[in-house]
Structure 1
Amino acid sequence: MTGQAPSVRLRGAALRFGGRAVFSDLDLDLPAGRWTCLLGESGIGKTSLLRLIAGLGSADETRGHLSCSDGLPLAGRVAYMGQRDLLLPWTTVLQNVVLGARLRGGRAAARETEGRAAALLRAVGLAGREEDLPGSLSGGMRQRVALARTLFEDCPVVLMDEPFSALDAVTRHRLQALASDLLRGCTVFMVTHDPLEALRLADRIEVLAGLPPQLRPVFEPAGQAPRPLDDPALAQQAGRLMIVLGDGARAA
């Protein structure tokens, strides 16, 4: 990871899209070096909030004050992985992973980092596919390339939108553990629809619920991530979290 991970603070966040208020007056704290997961119903604004933090919003109107604990801007220190893999179809899997290095430093910089990119591709189960084009890969494979590209960026702040959603259960379990290990010490904010995934990975869980949507009190799972799925405590915590999610849905 390049640089120490800061905490991130968002105050008074508001977003309008298509003339409709998605949310307003949201406050969010992402603690330094910890993994925060966001849960909530589909369409409630989770992805919009993530994109607002990343500076990628295409909404009609956004506002909010974003700051980092070290006083430096977030721009240039954040890796973003969206729901779509956004791989360039005309270039190889390996070149897609090193795309950021090439954009920043040209072909020479990309070549210097290809060894690390290849190691990440092996780690996500894509050894031997480095020279393939994205069109030859399944949806789950493409998502693994996108994950490798995100990990390759080695940023102190990482934003991810359902990064494991297209994977089979065994691969998802393995890559959750890999991401947890490689992103240790980073400030991570991840959107997910899977309560067990959030409980396995997160230090803190936020729930976006209600009408208008508001962030519900923080839920902090016990134990160190990645937590084993056969841990009896996880089932207890899952039940508590489902009650919070259900209460939020009824409030809407």
Structure 2
Amino acid sequence: MYQTSDKANRASELNVANKELAYQTSEKADRASELDIANKELAFQTSEKADRASELKIANTELAFQSAEKQKRADEFIIVNQTLINQNEKIENLTYRDQSTGLYNRKYLMKVLKNYDHDENLPISIIVGDVNGLGLINDSFGYATVDEIMIRVSKLLKKFVRKEDVIFRLNNGGFALILLKTDYESSSKIVQELKLQASQEKVSHFDISISCGLQTKISK
């Protein structure tokens, strides 16, 4: 009777153990299924990230290309703009400058004279001068000699002006200086010193002599 009861207990325990094992096996199967799903999701996400990375790389490449194109256009624009500036400077140089001395010419004087006639520039003095005998030199020795003399005179004139002042070549031997904020007394001293220094200049076998007139405006 005791053995039968013991066998029944063992059978019951075995049955419980089998059920527990079946339950654990089922749990493991569920975990395996969940892990498989998680792995698939991770693989999908990894694939998505790879796709996004690829798309980002393509977008960055396109952006770099567009940036390079914009820079290329900007560089081309700068070159074209600088070319136009250079062309305008050449045109202005030919229009408003004496080609021998580099001084502004009479045409430019007529254009800008009124621009200097403002209260803040007063007193304003204008010196107008001529190189004596230059007409005769031109007739006898030609325009090249006249230019050589005027180049020397232009260098001399530049010693007497400041950055805000302007020098003009008016004709073969004529010149003018606009001196801003310069009174008559100061301008007279400039004229005297200019004549003195000019008399010490010599081009080839020609002594340089200049004559000057002066006018000063002190009020509007």
TM-score, normalising length from structure 1?
Answer: 0.21
More helix by share: 2
Structure showing greater radius of gyration is 2
More strand by share: 1
